[in-house]
Amino acid sequence: MRADETDSFPFTSIVLTGGSSGIGNSFLKHMEKVYRSVRICNLSRRSATEFSAQLKLRHIPVDLSDTNARTAAIQEVLAFLREDESAGQVLLINNAGFGNYGEFHLSNSGAQREIVEVNINAVIDLTAQLLPVMRERGGTVLNVASVTAFQPTPYIATYGATKAFLLHWGYALDYELRDSSVRVMTVCPGSTDTAFHARAGMGIQGPSAKFAQTPDDVVNEAMQALRRGSPHVVTGWANKIMTTFASWLPWRWATPLTGRVLSHLKAHSRE
Ligand SMILES: NC(=O)c1ccc[n+]([C@@H]2O[C@H](COP(=O)([O-])OP(=O)(O)OC[C@H]3O[C@@H](n4cnc5c(N)ncnc54)[C@H](OP(=O)(O)O)[C@@H]3O)[C@@H](O)[C@H]2O)c1
């Protein structure tokens, strides 16, 4: 199965954001096992540790919410891609992201804009700058969204809306690029056992905790979906049922239902 993956997707360069922890770190572990000679470039503030010297991993330290730092980092990524003499396929994994739990009117607008910078604007900038190279060499853009993309999400309103953006945007780009050798896929995980919730200031309990996936599960399902050619994948069977249900419901019903579930995470976080 893994040989198939390298046959179908002979990536020679991988650009990943947010490889320093959680799902991004699991993407690195997967690549270390499957793509033995691939060159990988990670963009995050902290570096990704615990990888063997065999993994050709370059770390570009950058705060993706800072526009100037991001522009400079993208120039380094382009130089990294030019160094790839084989000029093979490129995989861009837009994974870095974060959220902040709480009522919007009580939060600071700078913090909300920071979410948009990392979860949306950094994705737009990286993808726009890398697409010319990817159209020449072939490749895949893999965006990490969330199950929050399927309905409005009170208490994480901005975060949820950034993920809805990624899902719609990914489908639209994939269509526009249909005659090229570039594909766009969106991965929608549900609760996953990473530092995400603690960093967002939210608790995790009830069904969210019971059905939480490991980051390795999310990455395995994402890579399987890539092989199937799916434009998006919701990982985990419970998340698949939940998002199907949410997609059927009118938003005037889905919003209060989601709000009620998410409000419990708020109560839990204050315990
Ligand atoms: N965990 C979940 O339940 C869950 C569910 C659905 C979707 N997701 C999505 O999965 C993706 C990965 O999150 P995770 O669960 O793996 O959480 P995580 O362990 O907190 O990892 C987040 C990654 O994003 C990077 N990042 C955050 N802000 C950044 C910034 N300003 N500049 C550069 N890098 C930044 C972090 O790197 P540094 O801190 O080193 O900069 C880290 O590597 C996110 O897009 C998240 O929205 C997570």
pLDDT value of position 207: 67
- Domain harbouring 144, CATH code: 3.40.50.720
Instruction: Evaluate whether 102 touches 53 at the Cβ level (below 8 Å).
Output: no
Phi first, then psi: give them for residue 84, nearest 5 degrees: -80, 95
Write the CA distances from 10 to 26, 87, 146, 171, integer angstroms.
19, 11, 27, 23
Among all chains, which residue has been given the structure tokens 């990670």?
42
Query: Tens digits of per-residue pLDDT, 175-216?
Result: 999 999 999 999 999 999 999 999 999 887 766 778 899 999
Residue list, ligand 1 pocket, CB within 6 Å = 18, 20-24, 44-46, 62-65, 95-98, 118, 144, 146, 189, 191-192, 194-196, 199, 215
For residue 167, the enclosing domain spans: 2-269
Tell which one of 15, 25, 45, 199 to mutate to probe ligand 1, the residue whose CB is within 8 A of the most ligand atoms: 45
Phi first, then psi: give them for residue 193, nearest 5 degrees: -80, 85
At residue 269, does pLDDT exceed 50? Answer: no
Distance CA 167, CA 144 (A): 9
pLDDT value of position 1: 42
High-pLDDT (> 70) share of the chain, %: 94
Query: Tens digits of per-residue pLDDT, 84-125?
Result: 989 899 999 999 999 999 999 999 999 999 999 999 999 999
**In this structure, what DSSP letter does residue 193 have?**
S
Tell which one of 16, 20, 125 to mutate to probe ligand 1, the residue whose CB is within 8 A of the most ligand atoms: 20
Q: pLDDT class for 6, splitting at 50, 70, 90? A: confident
Distance CA 271, CA 256 (A): 23
Q: pLDDT class for 26, splitting at 50, 70, 90? A: very high
Q: What's this model's pTM, rounded to 2 decimal places?
A: 0.96
Q: pLDDT class for 130, splitting at 50, 70, 90? A: very high
Query: Tens digits of per-residue pLDDT, 28-79?
Result: 999 999 987 899 999 999 999 877 667 789 999 999 999 999 999 999 999 9
3-state helix, strand, coil in the chain (%, to 5): 55, 15, 30
**Per the structure, how many domains does the chain have?**
1
At residue 139, does pLDDT exceed 50? Answer: yes
The minimum-distance atom of ligand 1 relative to the CA of 97 is 45
